Structure formats: structure tokens, C-alpha cells
């Protein structure tokens, strides 16, 4: 969680900006970062924002799960 937040900060991206882009509420993004939710769409947006594959950020998930 802390690493994701640091990577977003380094990239100049906020949780709010991701939420606005996806037209969702900011707590939804926070919940994915903290592991409370596992939403592929939000995970993908976060991975694109920090330029890392989803599997590098959340190694416990498979590619199949992310595309489902």
C-alpha cells in the first residue's frame, strides 16, 4: 500500500485524479490500494498511472483474474 502511494506521488498522480478519470468516488481507489477491494478496472488505472504491470503491483492475482 505504501509503495503504491509513493509511486503515485512520484508520478504526480493522486487518488482523486484516478477517481475522476474513472468517474468513481475517491474512496474506491483508496480501497483498492489498501486491499479492501479488488477491482480490475481500478487496478489497471493505477498500474497505468505508475507505469507498472498490474502483476508487479499485485503479484497474488493472475492475468486471467484481471481480464475477467
The C-alpha cell at 30 is 483508496
- Per residue in 22-66, pLDDT (tens digit) is 999 999 999 999 999 999 999 999 999 999 999 999 988 765 555
- Confidence (pLDDT) at 2: 75
Maximum CA extent, the chain: 30
- Confidence (pLDDT) at 61: 74
Query: For residue 28, what are the domain limits?
Result: 2-67
What pTM, to 2 d.p., does this model score? 0.84
Task: CATH number of the domain at 46, please.
Answer: 1.10.260
Count of domains observed in the chain: 1
The C-alpha cell at 67 is 481480464
In the numeric block, the cell 504491470 is attached to: 53
Residue 13 has pLDDT above 90, yes or no: yes
Confidence of residue 68 (pLDDT cuts 50, 70, 90): very low
Amino acid at each position: 500500500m505504501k509503495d503504491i502511494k509513493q509511486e503515485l506521488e512520484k508520478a504526480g498522480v493522486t487518488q482523486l485524479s484516478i477517481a475522476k478519470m474513472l468517474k468513481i468516488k475517491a474512496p474506491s481507489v483508496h480501497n483498492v490500494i489498501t486491499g479492501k477491494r479488488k477491482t480490475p478496472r481500478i487496478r489497471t488505472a493505477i498500474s497505468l498511472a505508475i507505469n507498472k504491470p498490474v502483476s508487479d503491483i499485485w503479484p497474488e492475482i493472475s492475468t486471467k483474474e484481471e481480464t475477467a
